[in-house]
Amino acid sequence: MSVTIPASDHSPTVRSRAVADHPVPSGREEEWRFTPLDRLRGLHTGSLDLSGSVGLAIESEGFVAETVTVDDPRVGATLVPTDIVAAQALTGSAGAVVLSLAAEAMGRARVVMTGQGVPAASHLVIEFAPFSKGTVVIEHRGSAVLAGNIEIRLGDGAQATVISHQAWDRDAVHVGTHAAHLGRDARLLMAHVTLGGDLVRLSPLVSYAAPGGEAELLGLYFADSGQHLEHRVFVDHDTPHCSSSVLYKGALQGEGAHTVWIGDVLVRAQAVGIDTYEVNRNLILTDGARADSVPNLELETGEIQGAGHASATGRFDDEQLFYLQARGIPEDLARVLVVRGFFADILGRLGEPELSRSVMSDVDARLGVDVEGLGVDDGEADDEVAR
Amino acid sequence: MSTLEIRNLHATVESDGEPREILRGVDLTVASGQTHAVMGPNGSGKSTLAYVIAGHPKYTVTEGSITLDGADVLDMSVDERARAGLFLAMQYPVEVPGVSVSNFLRTSVTAVRGEAPKLRLWIKEMKDAMSALQIDPSFAERSINEGFSGGEKKRHEILQLELLKPRIAVLDETDSGLDVDALKIVAEGVNRFQADGTTGTLLITHYTRILRYIHPDFVHVFVDGRIVESGGPELAQRLEDEGYERFVKAGSAA
């Protein structure tokens, strides 16, 4: 099956399950030009053997987990591959995992994918039936060369949070498409927390089945020396009266640290009354790091509530450091506070204390500070103040 | 008993690629139990004096010395100065998004006192200090200075002053932008800080009105990068009546 969509600046031109339908990227294409292909270990060639496995551990309350063949009608219903890696993730998977939450049910699931050091493919389907409410946290750990798809479907009125946490070992390569489709009045919070890996390239896609859908996309990434962390958001406003809000924040430090954020929002002619806003902010901590940030907003109708974007990449604010240091806080700890503060709004929105602690301790470690005993908030003080 | 001694202090700032001298030989001694007011016209360099004492990297000290109880302040980093007992209440406090006031205060107090205060005692201490300055408790959870009004920022500075209890406090135009009510609240905070006679205050201001609430023992007129005249509180009254004109002329003639 191959569908060719009318040309648009932003929407992909090929949508197909078949690997052969997708061109092998040369690196000159707009959508691949930021990605260092030579570090993909062949993941983009369509011919890499992805039959290796990833360890999969699922803890869930309320969700039903099944392993199905990729011919199952639930697989690929939302995520029709738009690039060769997604096609391979689908066809290369021995089977897909379907996590589903029944109508009006509440649930929570934690999925831990642990790389085994070999190339592998995975395809995860997460279905939230109408009026269900649930959270799924997917953690990527270990080392792998992974083509990983996640497709997310929200029935009418469903409220879902899906967090993909890239806590890979330093040498992992991960390319993934995370496609979500929202039913009427459904609300999705999709987040990407990317700290580990050598090269991570994720493409979150959002589309709407009916009016009233609200999508909030949040991202947090921290690239150290040599890491390439790329997030390519595409929100396809093809339905009236839906909204999207996108906020990705990144920190970078060290020689060759590279982040890429693409924010494509397409508002099609029929998508009247929509509201969209996307923001990317990058904090560059040292020389030698590079943040690419490319917001794209394409409007085919002016009959909308609002549409906008903002992008800012800045260096450490010396005045902030001076202020904190003038209160006795040593410079290295002051830097930790500023970076923690930079990420605080994202972590606050996610409301996952364990994830917050994990991110914060990662930030501390990267900045070389152990905050134990230094009076830094660990969440405990807030509770006390609130009383 | 503490003493801040400033001797023949010269400092420059980089301007259009050239060093420009802002401080031109400042001599000043502030001891515990004393309140000094440094008053001067705009552009006289009085705020630069405050920032040089605190160690702002923008300024280069080219001559002279600053010591606190004999220790060489110029040899210390910004945070070392604060831990040694110096405090600068800033004219334009900086916003630090995402860092809550409570987190900041506790981290700062831990650094200055050398150990983390016990949480329960700390919460009470912070709440009491906020209440004395009529700061709403919800400020504890807000980001540092973010969205604060001018008056809220200044009260937040004095809150830090009272919690950190430095040996010598430098208040840089803390009165600017305050209405009468806020000025009184801030002045009461400074007076509480100064009350037990163990600390010294260097108050930098353009206007005399704050001196109705904070009574200086010494008043210094600061013009063109140095102190041109020193006296008692009566000097402030004279400035109120006559303005800086006499000194500005004298300064430019020198």
Residue ending a domain, among A262, A292, A315, is A315
| Cβ pairs bridging A and B (under 8 Å) | 126
- A316, A325, A387: best to mutate for the B interface, most B CBs within 10 A: A325
The pLDDT of residue A12: 67
In this structure, the answer to whether residues A61 and A103 fall within a common structural domain is yes
Inter-chain contact B141–A375, Cβ cutoff 8 Å? no
Inter-chain contact A325–B98, Cβ cutoff 8 Å? no
In this structure, the answer to whether residues A334 and A241 fall within a common structural domain is no
Residue A368 and residue A177 in contact, taking contact as beta carbons nearer than 8 Å: no
- In this structure, the number of other CB atoms found within 10 A of the CB of residue B231 comes to 13
The pLDDT of residue A197: 98
Give the count of domains, chain A: 2
Say which of B56, B107, B164 has its CB closest to residue A376. B107
Q: Identify all chain B residues contacting A325, using CB atoms and an 8 Å cutoff.
A: 77-79, 82
In this structure, the answer to whether residues A151 and A242 fall within a common structural domain is yes
Under the banding of pLDDT at 50, 70 and 90, the label for residue A386 is: very low
In this structure, the answer to whether residues A97 and A123 fall within a common structural domain is yes
Contact status of A330 with chain B (Cβ, < 8 Å): yes
The pLDDT of residue A373: 85
Give the count of domains, chain B: 1
Residue ending a domain, among A315, A341, A360, is A315
Inter-chain contact A345–B98, Cβ cutoff 8 Å? yes
In this structure, the answer to whether residues A157 and A198 fall within a common structural domain is yes
Alpha-carbon distance A183 to A192, whole Å?
22
Whether the predicted interface score ipTM is above 0.90: yes
The nearest CA of chain B is from the CA of A321 a distance in Å of: 9
Count the alpha carbons within 13 Å of B251 in the hemisphere toward its beta carbon.
20
The nearest CA of chain B is from the CA of A310 a distance in Å of: 17
Inter-chain contact A385–B137, Cβ cutoff 8 Å? yes
The nearest CA of chain B is from the CA of A340 a distance in Å of: 7
Residue ending a domain, among A283, A315, A347, is A315
DSSP H/E element including B54: helix B46-54
In this structure, the answer to whether residues A271 and A378 fall within a common structural domain is no
Under the banding of pLDDT at 50, 70 and 90, the label for residue B247 is: confident
How confident is the model over B45-55, as pLDDT tens digits?
Answer: 999 999 999 99
Contact status of A7 with chain B (Cβ, < 8 Å): no
In this structure, the answer to whether residues A278 and A294 fall within a common structural domain is yes
Contact status of A380 with chain B (Cβ, < 8 Å): yes
How large a percentage of chain A has pLDDT more than 70?
A: 94
Alpha-carbon distance A132 to A337, whole Å?
38
Alpha-carbon distance A215 to A310, whole Å?
18
Beta bridge partners, A313, equal A282
Inter-chain contact A341–B97, Cβ cutoff 8 Å? yes
Alpha-carbon distance A364 to A384, whole Å?
24
Checking if the pLDDT of B250 tops 70, the result is no
Contact status of A162 with chain B (Cβ, < 8 Å): no
Stretch 19-78 of chain B: residues touching chain A, C-beta under 8 Å: 54-57, 77-78
CATH of the domain at B33: 3.40.50.300
DSSP H/E element including A356: helix A353-366
Inter-chain contact B82–A326, Cβ cutoff 8 Å? yes
In this structure, the answer to whether residues A148 and A172 fall within a common structural domain is yes
CA angle A324, A327, A332 (to 5 degrees): 45
In this structure, the answer to whether residues A304 and A325 fall within a common structural domain is no
Q: Identify all chain A residues contacting B144, using CB atoms and an 8 Å cutoff.
A: 323
How confident is the model over A149-199, as pLDDT tens digits?
Answer: 999 999 999 999 999 999 999 999 999 999 999 999 999 999 999 999 999
The pLDDT of residue A4: 40
Contact status of B102 with chain A (Cβ, < 8 Å): yes
Supply the range of the domain harboring residue B34: 3-253
Supply the range of the domain harboring residue A365: 317-387
How confident is the model over B178-222, as pLDDT tens digits?
Answer: 999 999 999 999 999 999 999 999 999 998 999 999 999 999 999
Under the banding of pLDDT at 50, 70 and 90, the label for residue B21 is: very high
Please name the residue of chain A whose CA is at the shortest distance from the CA of residue B57.
A322
Q: Identify all chain A residues contacting B100, using CB atoms and an 8 Å cutoff.
A: 377, 382
Inter-chain contact B116–A380, Cβ cutoff 8 Å? no
Q: Which of A52, A203, A179 is nearest to A122 (CA)?
A: A52
Tokens matching residue A277? 């806003």
In this structure, the answer to whether residues A204 and A98 fall within a common structural domain is yes
The pLDDT of residue B177: 86
In this structure, the answer to whether residues A310 and A322 fall within a common structural domain is no
Say which of A317, A334, A376 has its CB closest to residue B103. A376
Say which of A323, A326, A329 has its CB closest to residue B107. A329
The pLDDT of residue A122: 96
Say which of B94, B102, B144 has its CB closest to residue A385. B102
CA angle A282, A283, A284 (to 5 degrees): 115
CA diameter of chain A: 65
Please name the residue of chain A whose CA is at the shortest distance from the CA of residue B170.
A326
Q: Report which of residues A179 and A8 the model is more confident about.
A: A179
- A220, A320, A323: best to mutate for the B interface, most B CBs within 10 A: A323
In this structure, the answer to whether residues A269 and A369 fall within a common structural domain is no
Inter-chain contact A329–B108, Cβ cutoff 8 Å? yes
